[in-house]
A and B are shown apart, each in its own frame.
Chain A
Amino acid sequence: ETGVTQSPTHLIKTRGQQVTLRCSSQSGHNTVSWYQQALGQGPQFIFQYYREEENGRGNFPPRFSGLQFPNYSSELNVNALELDDSALYLCASSLSAGGSDTQYFGPGTRLTVL
């Protein structure tokens, strides 16, 4: 186990709703990255947070937003949910950003949008 935890495990929402997913990073890690993994695909980078600031963003619309807290835990918020947002959402923590530190993944949150 990596020490990265995510909640909730599963979530069902309807189109148009908003959702918040949570991630606790591994002890000592100050960087959290979020990924979306559609069924049968590789994870796709959403964004990264380093010391409470966004530090890079992938090709996702502004309705995907995030936060990082002083204890380095993080939230992913998705507004105006669409059916295509159904996926496994993964967070990964690393010791620091921009260096040579490996990303360790949590178990993910399975989001289903109906």
Chain B
Amino acid sequence: GENVEQHPSTLSVQEGDSAVIKCTYSDSASNYFPWYKQELGKGPQLIIDIRSNVGEKKDQRIAVTLNKTAKHFSLHITETQPEDSAVYFCAASINTDKLIFGTGTRLQVFP
């Protein structure tokens, strides 16, 4: 079955710097790759997603890139702000059904 690895497990950046989180997946049939942000005591919130027919997608300060050949995808956050501090999860699935999540990255943005 699908397996998703996520790195790093923790990431500390200065406010205004960029943050990059990387994930790899194992099942070449996976075609949907969402990223979720989870704050303490809350459920995961979708921040951006990408499908396999697209190589890159951007939404303001957030961008995701997908390399299907290498089976990896990355989240890029530019101009980080303290409110970006949270745990970020990548996931992979076939047709958005059963999401397989990575182990999470705890991002801390210091003022």
A residues within 8 Å of B by Cβ? 2, 4, 33, 35, 40-45, 48, 55-56, 58, 90, 92, 94, 97-108
Number of interface residues of B (CB under 8 A): 25
A43-B89, A45-B99 in contact; A100/B45 too (CB < 8 A)?
no
B97 close to A98 (CB less than 8 A):
yes
Binding stretch for chain A, among B54-62, B77-85, B100-108: B100-108
B residues within 8 Å of A by Cβ? 4, 6, 32, 34, 36, 41-46, 49, 51, 89, 91, 95-104
User: Which residues from B are CB-within-8-Å of A35?
Assistant: 99
A45-B99, A94-B96 in contact; A102/B34 too (CB < 8 A)?
yes
CB of B9 to closest CB in A, whole Å:
9
A102 close to B103 (CB less than 8 A):
no
A42 close to B103 (CB less than 8 A):
yes
B44 close to A48 (CB less than 8 A):
no
Q: Taking A33-B99, A105-B36 as given, write out 17 further A-B residue pairs in contact, using a Cβ cutoff of 8 Å, ordered by the A residue number.
A: A4-B43, A33-B97, A33-B98, A41-B104, A43-B44, A43-B89, A43-B101, A45-B98, A48-B97, A98-B97, A99-B96, A100-B51, A100-B95, A101-B96, A103-B46, A104-B46, A108-B42
User: Which residues from A are CB-within-8-Å of B51?
Assistant: 100
Nearest opposing residue in chain A for B44, CB measure: A105
Nearest opposing residue in chain B for A88, CB measure: B43
CB of B78 to closest CB in A, whole Å:
23
- Selected from A42, A98, A102, the residue in CB contact (under 8 A) with B102 is A42
- Selected from B36, B95, B103, the residue in CB contact (under 8 A) with A98 is B95
